[in-house]
Amino acid sequence: MPKRGRRRKKTRTHVSLDDQEKTLAAQSALSDSAKSGSSAAKIPKSLVLRRGKTVPAVVDLVDDLRQLMLPYTAVNFREDARNRKLTLTQYAQHLALPMGITHILAFSQSNPSENGSNLNLRLARTPEGPTLTFRVHRFSLNRDIRRLQKRPIALNSPSLHTNPPIVVTNNFNLDTNATDSAQQQPHVKLMRITFQNMFPAINVSTVKLRDCRRVVLFHFQEDDTGEESNTDENKNEGDQDDSSSNSDKGTTKAASKHRQFVHIRHFAITATPVGVNRRVRRLVQSNRKLPNLHKCQDISDYLNSALDTGVMSDSEAEEDDDNVVQLSDKYVGRGNSKSQKSAVKLVELGPRLCLELIKVEKGLGGGDVLYHAHVSKTPEEAAELKARKRREMELKEQRRAQQEANVERKRQASEEKRQAKRQRQQEREEETMQALRQGMVASGDEADSSDEESD
């Protein structure tokens, strides 16, 4: 009879001594590196997720943002439908801390029926905060940007996402002598520091030139008219967040004319050799593809045809003095060797985001509100609110202590009742055994007396 099924696979229920030694060695090395504060332990790791129900475009935005945060992010993380109502604190306790995640980026949408409206982004630093809440006014996906480009770059290139991108923060001027009051506000500095700490720091003296493949730009912009700027593409429009307003008494809505936006862009760095004919560059940079020479008698006809026209290509027209640099090391691409002059250009990868800071909280998903864009409080109102929160916390602690005392009292009463029941059971057993012993002695005496009478 022929054999059916696959080959039986053994399931080992024991661990060999070699495996145990390797595991102990790895654990000791990990603990030593954590104690010594090595660079691997200081690398920030991010988790991008969505909470609650959202439109399908937000799902694609989460995937694109994970591509931006590579390589130190959870790319294949899947949100469980049962866990979408978890708070940021629960995510940090059960998921972020065991995996070493330092930043959580959570998207949520208050009205999923409308396309892209009421979309919020909460950026939290684990395990103690702070938490920054942004309103996403507009965003564009990777596929939308690639659709507008003539020669888009392949996003699935492994060398493109092997190393983290370079972080550039523009217009986050913290000069104390600045005339604009927004440049001196603490929440602007907090935003800049948070964006920088989301990615690992780059040591300029030891970094290799071929590892610098991507750039992430955070551009701070303030609008005096109170309206959004039209410099970007209107991909998705957002409305005011009703949940961000505070309904407490004593609060006043601040009708500020200054609205602060943060624009996020993601670019790839490309280098092209300078001073080389376009067709010669194609021969140098192409790997296997050969040009079509069926109309040429010689290779010189192919090379001279571009020179006779006198028309430069699009890439050659952009090779001005501002873009041309002398490479200090070999870069990606043929012809970009050391000490070679090349034209450096940026090609946008996506996604694009236009964010507005709404609220800054001291803790992880809660705590004292350090900044709010739409609600302002006087010092007296802030002190009163803080005192009320303190009283609520004290009352909560008292109720918790009383509840614990009641639980302990009930536990002791139950334990005493159990001990009394066990004591009564032991007494009944002793009485039964004593009665049995007395009965056995009495029966023995009767037997002896009957034997004597028979004698």
Res 26 pLDDT > 80: no
pLDDT band at 257 (very low <50, low <70, confident <90, very high): low
Task: Give the domain ranges of the chain.
Answer: 38-267+351-377, 272-346, 380-445
E strand or H helix at 125? strand 119-125
CA-CA-CA-CA torsion for 238, 239, 244, 245, nearest 10 degrees? Answer: 170
pLDDT, residue 56, reads 87
The pLDDT tens digits for 53-80 are: 888 889 899 999 999 998 899 888 887 7
Please tell me the CATH superfamily of domain 38-267+351-377, with its number. Brix domain (3.40.50.10480)
The pLDDT tens digits for 109-159 are: 887 666 556 889 999 998 887 999 999 998 999 899 989 888 888 777 777
C-alpha of 110 from chain center = 21
The helix/strand/coil state of 105 is: strand
The helix/strand/coil state of 417 is: helix
Contacts of 171 (CB under 8 A, 6+ apart): 219, 220, 221
pLDDT band at 424 (very low <50, low <70, confident <90, very high): very high
Q: At what angle do helices 299-309 and 278-285 cross, to 10 degrees?
A: 140
Res 278 pLDDT > 80: no
pLDDT, residue 34, reads 44
pLDDT band at 408 (very low <50, low <70, confident <90, very high): very high
207: left (phi over 0), alpha (psi -120 to 50) or beta: beta
Six-digit token string for 437: 């012993």
d(Cα 106, Cα 61) in Å, to the nearest integer? Answer: 12
The helix/strand/coil state of 100 is: coil
Phi, psi of 153 (to 5 degrees): -90, 140
* Residue 376 near residue 185 (C-beta atoms within 8 A): no
